[in-house]
A and B are shown apart, each in its own frame.
Chain A
Amino acid sequence: MIQKDLVEIRFHGRGGQGAVTAANILVAAAWKSGLWGQAFPFFGAERRGAPVVAFARLSRRRVRLHSMIRHPDVVVILDPKLPKLVNVLEGLKSGGKVVINSASKSGLGKGEYRVYCVDATKIALDLGLVLAGWPLANTSMLGALAKVLNLPIADVKEAIVEYMGKKKGEVNARAAERAYVEVSECE
Chain B
Amino acid sequence: MKLVVMHLTGNYAVAWAVKLSRVKVVSAYPITPQTTIVEKISEFIESGMMDAKIVRVESEHSALATVFGAASSGVRAFTATSSHGLMYMYEMVWWSAGARVPIVMAIVTRTIGAPWNIWSDHSDFMSQRDTGWLMIFAEHNQEVLDSVIQLFRITEDPRVYLPGMIALDAFILSHTTEPVDVPDQSLVDSFLPSRRQPYTFKSGDPITMGNLPSNPRDNMKMRWDVHESLVAAKKVIMEVDREWGELTGRSYGGLIECYRCSDAKYFIIGVGAWVGDMREAVDMLRSEGYEVGLIKLRFVRPFPAEELAEVVRGGKGAIVFDRSVSAGSAGPLYLDTVAHLGALNVGVPVKNVIAGIAGVDVTYNDIAGVVRSFIEEIESKGVVSNYVEWYFG
Contacts and interface: CB of A to CB of B under 8 A. Distances in A.
Q: Do the two chains touch directly in the complex (Cβ atoms below 8 Å apart)?
A: yes
B277 A40 contact: no
Given A67-B361, A68-B363, A40 B280 contact: no
Nearest to A28: B7
Contacts of B33: 43
A41 to B, nearest CB: 6
B273 interface: yes
A39 B176 contact: yes
Interface string B161-194: 0000000011111011111000000000000000
A36 B179 contact: yes
Given A64-B276, A67-B274, A38 B361 contact: no
Interface in A139-177: none
A40 B170 CA distance: 12
Nearest to A67: B363
Interface string A6-46: 00000000000000000110011001000011111101000
A66 B176 contact: yes
A31 B176 contact: no
B7 A66 contact: no
A38 B141 CA distance: 10
A81 interface: no
Contact of A64 (B179, B277, B361): B277
Residue of B7, B175, B274 with most chain A CB atoms under a 10 A cut-off: B7
B364 interface: yes
A38 B362 contact: no
Given A43-B118, A43-B119, A67 B175 contact: no
B301 interface: no
Contact of A66 (B118, B119, B179, B274): B274
Contacts of B362: 67
B175 A43 contact: yes
A66 B177 contact: no
B273 A27 contact: no
B339 interface: no
B365 to A, nearest CB: 9
A65 interface: yes
A38 B176 contact: yes
Contacts, number: 67
A66 B279 contact: no
B366 to A, nearest CB: 8
Contact of B361 (A28, A39, A68): A68
Contact of B277 (A24, A37, A43, A66): A66
A65 B277 contact: yes
A24 B279 contact: no
B111 to A, nearest CB: 12
Interface residues of B, number: 27
A65 to B, nearest CB: 6
B274 A40 contact: no
B179 A65 contact: no
A149 B179 CA distance: 20
B245 to A, nearest CB: 17
A64 B280 contact: yes
Contacts of B49: none
B143 to A, nearest CB: 11
A4 to B, nearest CB: 15
Given A28-B7, A43-B170, A67 B364 contact: yes
Interface in B343-393: 359, 361-364
Residue of B119, B177, B363, B364 with most chain A CB atoms under a 10 A cut-off: B177
A43 B5 contact: no
A72 to B, nearest CB: 14
A130 interface: no
B351 to A, nearest CB: 21
A60 to B, nearest CB: 13
Residue of A28, A40, A63 with most chain B CB atoms under a 10 A cut-off: A40
Interface in B227-243: none
Contacts of A70: 363
B171 to A, nearest CB: 4
A8 to B, nearest CB: 12
B308 to A, nearest CB: 22
Interface string A55-76: 0000000111111101000000
A41 B11 CA distance: 14
Contacts of B170: 43
Given A24-B7, A43-B118, A43-B119, A66 B169 contact: yes
Contacts of B277: 64-67
Interface of B: 5, 7, 33, 118-119, 140, 169-173, 175-179, 273-274, 276-277, 279-280, 359, 361-364
Closest 3 CB pairs of A and B: A64-B276, A43-B171, A40-B176
Given A31-B5, A37-B179, 6 more contacts: A31-B179, A39-B176, A39-B177, A65-B277, A67-B361, A68-B361
12 contacts: A24-B7, A24-B177, A27-B177, A37-B7, A37-B177, A38-B176, A40-B171, A40-B177, A43-B170, A64-B280, A66-B273, A67-B363
